A and B are shown apart, each in its own frame.
Chain A
Amino acid sequence: MNWNFTTTNVNVRLPINEQDGNALFALLQQQHAVDHIPRIALTDAVQVEDELRRMTMQFETREGASWLVTGTYDDQLFARITVKKINWMMRAAQLQWELAPDCDNELMTRLMSEAMNEVLPFLMAELGLHRLEMRLRKGSDKHTELLKKLCFTYEGCLPSQLEFDGEDIALDVYSILTSDLKS
């Protein structure tokens, strides 16, 4: 099973421990890249080693998988896409992504459309998942616009899902089903 994909403008590939640490740290140390989850940005390069180890272990145990979205020509890291909380019985999983905040919105939409056009059919056809959802902090407009462009449907808002920075955080839920993808 091939987990790596190449499109016109991006490579969507599993991370490589020895080479991706610096680029991943550059992405995940930016608070704007993780505000929508929400999570605290990384502060030390050592934390990326833990992040890479977790990604490897999650993949090996079939708990989840993470892809790095990089430019085809310059290998610049634009995003990380993660599938997690896979429920094989319900054939459902959660998606999460971190997008490079300094990338132009229009460019990011194009690149992520290319990347997700590979990842989503793979998750549904090859892994047999039926429902993919993303939960993100209410008000994450840049991300919700992208989700809508990718044909995700808004399902509602779950209140008080976690505490972050002294606030009770409500999470919006967006999903895409196999039937959405076919249509």
Chain B
Amino acid sequence: MKFTPEIPFAGGRVKPLLAQDIDGLFALYQQPELPGQAPLVDPEQLSRLVDISVKMAATQRGMMWAIEIDQPDSAPKILGMVSGFDWHASQLRITLRVDALPELSITQRQAALTVCMNFLETKYHVRNFAYPWIVGQNAEIKTMLTDLGYQSCAILRDAWRIGENAFADVHQFHYLSNTDKPIARRLGDDDQLGQVVNNQQGGAS
């Protein structure tokens, strides 16, 4: 069963992590955006990441997409990832993060994040999206979040460790959807676990 869909946006798409993408993902992990994160040494670790991404999506603990951007003269290239983690499915909230190479523009980053949010909101009724911005990351990301409707809710002091005794503040952004909460139905009516559906559609998701 495929839990992580491929979703197009202008100029590219987000798609599930696949074994054949490991080279592209390895290149991404050579320039980590997260402050304090060292470049990945062993590509084998990404095989495990691909496995974990499937398991996380299947159990609604997280969801990972590769951001693939069309290239004018060559095959599409992976320039980033959207990660959903700390997913509290019954509380309808998740934390998102985009990690990307410098070539990914803010516009493309925003488009990728938007289609993932729309999917999670539509399919899983997620209503509360958190996004931690860590001091040291590109400040344009904060503007992008604000443009998307996120609000800065808290500054968590020294909440991200960047060295043995060095820490960075985390700016915690939240986007709250104003869509209605899903209507609880009788358990067992829907055999697609976790995919709560509209009562009036008779079980179709």
Contact = CB atoms under 8 A, between A and B. Distances in A.
Interface of A: 89-92, 130-131, 133, 153, 155-163, 173, 175, 177
Chain A CB within 10 A, most for which of B130, B153, B176: B153
B141 interface: no
- How extensive is the interface on chain B, given as a class? 20 to 34
A175 B127 CA distance: 27
A89 B159 CA distance: 11
Contacts of A159: 128, 153, 174, 176
B156 interface: yes
A89 B152 CA distance: 25
B204 interface: no
Given A131-B167, A161-B93, A156 B154 contact: yes
B186 interface: no
Nearest to A135: B154
A175 B156 CA distance: 8
A153 B156 CA distance: 10
Nearest to A156: B154
Contact of A177 (B152, B158, B160): B158
Contacts of B176: 159-160
A89 B153 CA distance: 24
Interface string B69-95: 000000000000000000000011100
B47 interface: no
12 contacts: A90-B159, A133-B156, A155-B157, A156-B152, A158-B154, A159-B128, A159-B174, A161-B91, A161-B128, A162-B91, A163-B91, A177-B157
Given A90-B161, A161-B93, A156 B155 contact: yes
B158 A130 contact: yes
A158 B156 CA distance: 11
A131 B155 CA distance: 13
Contacts of A131: 157-159, 167
A81 B153 CA distance: 27
Given A156-B152, A175-B156, 20 more contacts: A90-B159, A90-B161, A130-B158, A131-B158, A131-B167, A153-B157, A155-B155, A155-B157, A156-B153, A156-B155, A159-B128, A159-B174, A160-B92, A160-B127, A160-B174, A161-B91, A161-B93, A161-B128, A177-B157, A177-B158
Contacts of A89: 161
